[in-house]
Amino acid sequence: MTIVDPDAPGRRSTGFELAILGSLAESPMHGYELRQRLSVSLGSLRMFSYGSLYPMLRRLTGSALIDTHAGHEVDPAPLTSKRSRVVYCLTGAGRERLSVLLGDDGPQAWSDEGFEIHLAFFHRTTAEDRVRILEGRRRRMEERREALRLAMPRAADRLDAYTEGLRRLGLEAAEREVCWLTELIETERRGASPTTRLPDAGPA
Partner DNA sequence: GTTAGCATGTAAGGAGTTACATGATTTT
Partner DNA sequence: AAAATCATGTAACTCCTTACATGCTAAC
Residue numbers at the binding site for DNA (CB under 7 A): 1-5, 8, 10-14, 16, 30-33, 46-52, 54-58, 77-79, 81-87
Out of 8, 62, 197, 202, the only residue in the binding site for a second copy (CB under 8 A) is 197
Distances (CA, A) of 78 to 31, 50, 68, 69, 73: 17, 24, 17, 15, 12
Residue 90 region, left (φ>0) first, then alpha (ψ -120 to 50), else beta?
beta
Out of 113, 116, 135, 142, the only residue in the binding site for a second copy (CB under 8 A) is 116
Cα separation, 134 vs 187, whole angstroms: 12
Do 152 and 192 contact (CB within 8 A), yes or no? no
SS3 29: strand
> Minimum Å distance from CB 168 to a second copy?
8
Residues 123-162 touching a second copy, rule: CB under 8 A, are 123, 144, 147-148, 151-152, 158-162
- Residue 5 binding partner per list DNA, a second copy, none, with a CB distance cut-off of 5 to 8 Å that depends on partner kind: DNA
CB neighbours of residue 16 within 10 Å: 19
Q: Which residues bind a second copy (CB under 8 A)?
A: 40-41, 43-44, 116, 119-120, 122-123, 144, 147-148, 151-152, 158-170, 172-173, 176-177, 180, 184, 194-198, 201
